[in-house]
Amino acid sequence: MQLTGAEIVIECLKEQGVDTVFGYPGGAILNVYDALYQHQNEIRHILTSHEQGASHAADGYARATGKVGVCLATSGPGATNLVTGIATAYMDSIPIVAITCNVGVPLLGKDSFQEIDISGITMPITKHNFIVKDVEQLADTIRKAFVIAKKGRPGPVLIDIPKDVTSNQAEYEKKEISAVCPLEDLCEEDVETALGLIREAKRPYIFVGGGAVLSNASEELYEFVKKVDAPVCDSLMGKGAFPGTDPLYTGMLGMHGTKTSNYGVSECDLLIVVGARFSDRVTGNAKKFAEHAKILQFDVDVAEMNKNVLITEGVVGDIRVILRRLNERLEQLDHTEWIQKISEYKEKYPLTYHPDLLTGPGAVEEIYRQTHGDALIVTEVGQNQMWAAQYYKFTKPRTLLTSGGLGTMGYGLGASIGAKTARPEKTVVNIAGDGCFRMNMNEIATAARYQIPVIQVVLNNHVLGMVRQWQDLFYGKRYSATVLNDSVDFVKLAEAMGAAGMRATTPEEFREAFAKALTADGPVVIDCQIDSDEKVWPMVAPGEAISKAFDEEDLEAGKKQ
């Protein structure tokens, strides 16, 4: 049947099973929005307050479900406002499809009103992108975009469609979409080499990254850990792939990782890396990272092998397939003595905070208690992000949604709207600092408009907390442009935008406020007043080995390396 390009866009989204899109209309994309109006009972559209909010919402939807998130924007500034969200998804390998519309084909390249080369701008931060100048190519391009977003290492794809293409007509025929399956092929020699290294190890350590989450490999990972009989640490992106309540779990690795994980990895003789890319925030000084160990890396992307850290051996493939293959051949191993040593580290170096005051860690632990560890936790970036990673015990994948690679302040509120839309049965909490909340707090109005009951917890220390922490420790307490001690009232702001607002200054007040928020039928903002000098501990100084992690007690004792 003959359809316009705009109608083809909607039909192709329906083919892909898309039930929700996030976006903001404008002149160039009007035809698509007009077609969407005719299908509003099939595809829900969430009008965000800003296009960046739409891209983060699509990202949050994707992280919470494993499906492809979709966002829409018009030409020019509408398209460029998606860039930060696209880059966020790219750095964390999140599958989203961003659909933008541009000026008509005859006007391209002529500096027309609201014209921008968005495909050129996003080329370095997309897995692939397209500009569709022929309506005959539109349907197949959209289908191809969804396959590319999901296949192998996931990532964002952008489709730019000139306005006249959305009004031109072409023959459309519905196509059934086959599932994108992981590649089963592995190099047999690499698998055998991996098995040999695992069997020979006396002090193995398993380091889990986001790839284990993206490949849905939690069950296979759990079996693998138990067979190897090794302690487990994770990256920020790997949270929940292995249960944070298991006795073998030792916490996060890296700059704000636990001393147990940092010391253990520094002393192991085999580091098994499951879907992690050796970020600088994990390795510290890369030349001193796990320097006594052989490194065995599992990753779907061959480009990650030997990129940041030289490895001993690697297996390239889907994480779930690799672990399943190893589990089939690996006998039960026993490393009782090594695990006992790591357990002693856990007892000696627990995470601690001041319990009598309202603090970031205390608030996170209270959130954990009241949600019974079963919420979707979204974070912003900085101290709030690290406290959430340290003190909330993630037991399932896709329950921590956070900007890991790009570190995007302002990510969390849009992402929490996307997550709650995708998983309405789950409690969704966005943990933010006041600096991050200011970035995109206009999305509270979005949540209020649709009565999306997200809980926004603002750890309000009236400073840019993590930057100030660095200034305090490494810049002689010169607090340049990091003090936010002004008259902004987040409770009044929340109420002005249609949400409920509460303030907490003590642990008891926060406990009561959060309990009320859990029963609310709309968005809630809780303004938590915490101390400006509160810090994230432990910490590794820039350029140091992770074995040099220090905490508040070390600092007071003059032991900081």
Does the N-terminal peptide bond of residue 538 adopt cis geometry, omega within 30 degrees of 0?
yes
| Dist CA 557 CA 554 (whole Å) | 5
Angle at 332 between CA 310 and CA 304, to 5 degrees: 20
Choice among 14, 15, 114, 396 that is catalytic: 114
The whole-angstrom separation of Cα 504 and Cα 514 is 9
Tokens of 57: 């919402």
Q: What does the DSSP 8-state code read for residue 396?
A: S
The type of residue at 170 is A
Q: Which of 150, 163, 346, 535 is catalytic?
A: 163
Token digits for 536? 């994230």
Beta carbons within 10 angstroms of residue 373's beta carbon = 17
Burial, 144: exposed, middle or buried (Cβ in 10 Å; 0-12, 13-18, 19+)? middle
Written as one string, the DSSP assignment of 103-153 is: S-GGGTTTT-TT---HHHHHGGGSSEEEE---GGGHHHHHHHHHHHHHSSS
The whole-angstrom separation of Cα 122 and Cα 133 is 18
114 is catalytic: yes
Alpha helix (H) ranges present in 186-244?
188-200, 210-214, 218-228
420, 431, 487 from 500: Cα distances, Å: 17, 16, 19
Active site residue 200: no
Angle between the N-to-C axes of helices 360-371 and 507-518, in degrees from 0 to 180, rounded to the nearest 10: 40
Distance CA 239, CA 235 (A): 7
**Active site residue: 237, 439, 441, 466, which one?**
466
Q: How far apart are CA 118 and CA 130, in angstroms?
A: 10
- Which residue in 51, 220, 304, 534 is the catalytic one? 51
Q: Quick check: is 51 catalytic?
A: yes
* Closest alpha carbon to 69 in 367, 321, 414: 414
Among candidate residues 38, 113, 171, 492, the one labeled active-site is 113
| 16 is an active site residue | no
Sheet holding 44-47, edge to edge: 44-47, 20-24, 69-73, 96-102, 157-162, 128-131
For 50, the token pair is 């800003």
Gyration radius from the chain CA atoms: 24
192 is catalytic: no
- Which residues carry out catalysis? 51, 113-114, 163, 466
